[in-house]
Amino acid sequence: MSLNSLWEYANPRKFIQTTDMVLPWVTVLAVGVLVTGLIWGFFFTPADYRQGATVKIIYIHVPGALMAINIWLMMLVTSLVWIVRRHHVSAMAARAAAPVGMVMTLIALITGAIWGQPMWGTWWAWDPRLTSFLILFLFYIGYMALWSAIENDDTAADLTSILCLVGSVFALLSRYAVNFWNQGLHQGASMSLDKEEHVADVFYYPLLVCIAGFVLLFISLVLLRTRTEIRARRMRVLLARARMG
Amino acid sequence: MIALLQRDMRLAMRAGGGFGLGLSFFLIVVVLVPFGVGPQSALLGKIAPGILWLGALLACLLSLDRIFALDWEDGSLDLLATAPLPMEAIVSVKALAHWLTTGLPLILAAPLFGLLLNLPEAGYKPLILSLILGTPALSVIGTFGAALTVSLKRGGLLLSLLVLPLYVPTLIFGAEMARRGIAGQVATTPMLMLAGITCGVIALMPFASAAVLRVNLR
């Protein structure tokens, strides 16, 4: 099997065939890495000298928050692919990713609130980061609502793709507007790509494992949901054909 | 284009929905707020710019589904689409008509409503200025939402859900500008940002609105 280009997977049949092979491995790997990372983080790292055991929520909070943003980015890319090249699998992947992204946003918000109660003394503050995540959550809800409101699949894919593009611009704008609007309570970034600034190594390595676990989990969920969507559409067509006689 | 604008304006006025409804809604919001938060003048004066901005935003939202709904139902939108006028121009004119029938009356009435809410004297100028700069953005963004949901039977609630998050930056800078004006601080930064958002959406949003309208008309 020679792999000519990525666009081969735009063929739903090819996509199903390939994911048939890949999906079990990714799922097993996701569960394995996630369990390893969480057990490592929860039981084999020391408690922070100021935050106590609450620091351990970082192993869920940071990957969740990271994925919440990156899933929207992935939806942006797949939406662009749909608009430019009109590959159905791409639009279906965007649709499949949205609920996962929404849940990730919710995970980040809820774990943040649970951590914030003992540490900041409040469940919620109108801090820029918290607020922009809440806004991101609203964008996810609107996006999903639009998908489910339109019956024709192609129209829905077109409209949601454009909404995703416009929404990305406004989400970014909101992020900076909110920054301008209120001072932050949230600490700086826990990690960075371009700066040597991150949490202590003893927390850092299990955190990396957890992030890898979340990414794998996301991949396996999106593949699964995209396959379900492809099969659901196929079934609808078959049923329609059967009704036609 | 001018003919289309005139037609839309006439329709809005004669249907009794344009000027009257939005303004009445704005008034009701302003009247209800003191019942909700209590009649203390100092408190009302403090939250007045926020209330007026929120009221303007909701009044604007209320009339959004009228932008395309009627033209969609009787088929004149199809005729407009085949007219020798780019779709981008059509949605821009629609947005302009919406602003003239909703945004402009709100701006004119805002001083009066500010009086009701005990808005401090220093607040009038920045508030009105922020509304003048911000409400066109509300109409243009709203037109995008209306174009997005035009083919849906009961799109009203979905329209709010889609449009309100898009209003966040405009609302933040608009209300912030009015607040800073009242506090006697320099309001140049939010003013420039607000003007930037408005200019940006006027320039770019018609393309998105026209694109979704074309999809809906397909």
DSSP string for residues in A31-64: HHHHHHHHHHHHHSSPPBTTTBGGGGGHHHHHHH
Q: Give the residues across from A52 on adjacent strands.
A: A48
Mutation for B interface: A84, A164, A173, most B CBs within 10 A: A173
Decide: B160 and B61 in contact? Cβ < 8 Å: yes
**Considering the entire predicted model, what is its pTM?**
0.89
Report how far apart, in Å, the C-alpha atoms of B10 and of each of B17, B19, B63, B154 are.
11, 11, 15, 26
CA angle B132, B92, B50 (to 5 degrees): 30
- Residue A106 CA, distance from chain mean position: 11
Instruction: Give me the helix-helix angle, B19-37 and B104-116, nearest 10°.
Output: 30
CA atoms within 13 A on the CB side of B165: 27
**ipTM for this model:** 0.87
Q: Which residues of A touch B173 (CB under 8 A)?
A: 177, 180
> What's the pLDDT score for residue B42?
85
Instruction: Say which amino acid occupies B125.
Output: K
CB atoms within 10 A of CB B31: 12
Q: Which residues of A touch B161 (CB under 8 A)?
A: 138, 141-142, 145
Beta strand ranges found along chain B (DSSP E): none
> What's the pLDDT score for residue A201?
72
Domain extent listing, chain A = 24-185+203-236
Task: State the Cα–Cα distance between residues A59 and A39, nearest whole angstrom.
Answer: 10
Q: Which residues of B touch A174 (CB under 8 A)?
A: 165, 168-169, 172
Tens digit of each residue's pLDDT, chain A (245 residues): 455 677 777 788 888 888 888 999 999 999 999 999 999 988 888 777 667 777 788 889 999 999 999 999 999 999 999 999 888 889 999 999 999 999 999 999 999 898 888 888 888 888 888 888 999 999 999 999 999 988 888 899 999 999 999 999 999 888 888 888 876 667 766 666 555 556 677 788 888 999 999 999 999 999 999 999 999 999 999 999 999 87
- Which residues neighbour A157 within 8 Å (Cβ) at sequence distance 6 or greater? A82, A88, A91, A94, A95
Provide φ and ψ at B91, rounded to 5°: -70, -35
Task: State the Cα–Cα distance between residues A229 and A1, nearest whole angstrom.
Answer: 26
Instruction: Say which amino acid occupies B54.
Output: L
> What's the pLDDT score for residue A192?
61
Nearest CA in chain A to B217: A155
Tens digit of each residue's pLDDT, chain B (218 residues): 777 777 777 776 666 555 677 788 888 888 898 898 888 888 888 888 889 999 999 988 888 888 888 888 888 888 888 888 888 988 998 899 889 888 888 999 898 988 888 888 888 888 999 999 999 999 999 999 999 998 887 778 899 999 999 999 999 999 989 888 888 888 888 899 999 999 999 999 999 999 999 998 88
B218 close contact with A: CB closer than 8 A: yes
Instruction: Say which amino acid occupies B180.
Output: R
Provide φ and ψ at A218, rounded to 5°: -60, -45
Decide: A54 and A119 in contact? Cβ < 8 Å: yes
Mutation for B interface: A162, A164, A176, most B CBs within 10 A: A162
User: In the numeric block, which tokens belong to residue A153?
Assistant: 């699949």
Q: Which residues of B touch A165 (CB under 8 A)?
A: 208
B208 close contact with A: CB closer than 8 A: yes
Report how far apart, in Å, the C-alpha atoms of B193 and of each of B102, B135, B170 are.
23, 14, 9
User: In the numeric block, which tokens belong to residue A63?
Assistant: 């990957």
Q: Which residues of A touch B143 (CB under 8 A)?
A: none
User: In the numeric block, which tokens belong to residue B103?
Assistant: 């945004």
- Is residue A1 helix, strand or coil? coil
- Is residue A124 helix, strand or coil? coil
CB contact under 8 A, B158 and A146: yes
Q: Give the gap in angstroms from C-alpha A233 to the nearest C-alpha of chain B.
A: 21
Mutation for A interface: B168, B179, B213, most A CBs within 10 A: B168
Q: Which residues of A touch B197 (CB under 8 A)?
A: 173
Q: Which residues of B touch A170 (CB under 8 A)?
A: 165-166, 168-169
> What's the pLDDT score for residue A1?
46
Task: State the Cα–Cα distance between residues B192 and A27, nearest whole angstrom.
Answer: 50
Instruction: Identify which of B169, B176, B189 has the shortest CB distance to residue A170.
Output: B169
What b/e readout covers B148-157, taking b as 16+ CB neighbours within 10 angstroms? Answer: bbbbbeebee
Instruction: Identify which of B161, B190, B205 has the shortest CB distance to residue A145.
Output: B161
CB contact under 8 A, A165 and B151: no
Decide: B177 and B190 in contact? Cβ < 8 Å: yes
Of the candidates A169, A175, A168, A170, the one whose C-alpha atom is nearest the C-alpha of residue A131 is A175
Q: Give the gap in angstroms from C-alpha A179 to the nearest C-alpha of chain B.
A: 10
Q: Give the residues across from A48 on adjacent strands.
A: A52
> What's the pLDDT score for residue B147?
92
> What's the pLDDT score for residue A26?
93
Architecture of domain A24-185+203-236: Up-down Bundle (1.20)
User: In the numeric block, which tokens belong to residue A162?
Assistant: 């454009």
Domain extent listing, chain B = 2-217
CA atoms within 13 A on the CB side of B168: 27
